[in-house]
Structure 1
């Protein structure tokens, strides 16, 4: 067995580690015989493995230690996904599962990230948390903390999806970044008297639309897309579809109707005749936008302008003021999280009316004593 040999150059002694076999010959200088011997042993172990000799030569010539050669070679054999490929694959996936608006938002955010990064061909493994933080921080400073948090949510969702399909490594660099502090803003909720003033000024379908918003607490597009097949007047319920759930899948929920709303929709059904849609624009098609509708009515009524989401908050608050249990309000608004429901309720103590129940335990114990 060949052992390391001494070599003296310019008055300095080195130990030469050498490995030779057929078409393979490599050597390296070391300060000690022990280091040279260990290097020879590790190279011989590599040659007995499955890594091609040409790759071992190449990686050793790049200055890697024999132990590092195996790890680097294995990584080279693993197909890498570029940042551009990751973004494209995610957008292709969500295109069929989210609304057109949500898709445009995700497309815009991913494009801005790739343009900012400047190297869309870089493997996803090279994206660090520090880089993700710098990108989000740039928008926190130039736009707002809330904008940065929105970007963090969308980019984090894209990375989580890719982790599920083993395209991107853990941990998620965007979600490791802490959320940016910001003050939560609420949609303006009109007082009940202002809402009634606006309703009194409206007529026909406009009035029916406003009352349907109030009684259902629906989202704007949910009513725009409402069709008569989703209305069950006999059972007093209607079906609303939403994509405002995790994953963006379209889901349906049945919502109960009051007698007043049933009457409103019976009149609306007489107006629309045989139309498929419940609410129609002047061309006989479903509404896409009513941006000026409420603003015009609010101006005529002389009240502070409010939007459709303000009516949704008014519905939740009206129920809460009558001591309706929070879980019932949550079910009516179709929120997955009770915390989201509580955010809709303004100026109403959400737990205090029920704390008297806790007094029962002390009262009973006092009586028992």
Structure 2
């Protein structure tokens, strides 16, 4: 975490968490400094709830998925008893990685020396281990990670003292359900992955405001009513809601179809996940913004539909995201990332519109406040 002298050095003393209208942004060098990035792993990612997958992707006993949180590799596995558990994805013998990607297994077997673990993390004994003096299998079981299921999605936290995600996120789950009923029953359809040459905070801040939408996203402004678009902040979340228009150049949907959603909804959830509900049939897409370095981020877009396969409208929406919206946003944040290195740039000012209309950047201030609180927690 940043100490008091670090706050003054980096200019965080000019950031005003309780006064967005008069606050400067967090300083530019926090978006590329390697020491800051190392501190973020400890203060932000190792103490927060991190997205993994949908429960439908872990449907059968032995189904597993792996993910990274900072430098830590984690495996999530459904046991024979039906319970979903999470473990550090490392063998207790010589630290070899155990599982890769997603799949299904009857037991967790290390590729290095074949140490074998049950799906609940217990180490199996064998003839070789029984020859080791004073060896205790219970000492070398897999090391657990906190796991929670919310909205039918699996989350992990490396901090066993963390409050439940459902508690931290307030009305987040209820809001999602009001736009997409029974998300637990959706089926995974498709993943898009983008490698972005920008710091993770830069990427999230771009998501957190639509001030840039009229000049940068003309098709999106046709899809949603930008004049009514509103951002609301609460707990560790922000919501971005607007009515949508069937007649637009982004993608076509029929608002007259029975059960069709005619609203666009997007929700940011600390630290690096966004849920999106597009107009049309019941759906959710999850944007997972995973830092891979001080100035690089992987974006995973996971799409979930009623029966897994996208219909014509949903395929058109995915094509728009992949071919139009993502290239537009990636171009913006990569340009900003380059500009943050300018010798004449240090901090900016946020545009906080008094009525918090669509051109207001109070969503960025909320995110930066969460970041400030995490990075200075030991000083308060």
TM-score (norm 1): 0.23
Which structure has the highest strand share of the two? 2
Larger Rg: 1
The one of the two structures with greater contact order (alpha-carbon pairs below 8 A, sep at least 6) is 2
TM-score (norm 2): 0.22
Which structure has the highest helix share of the two? 1
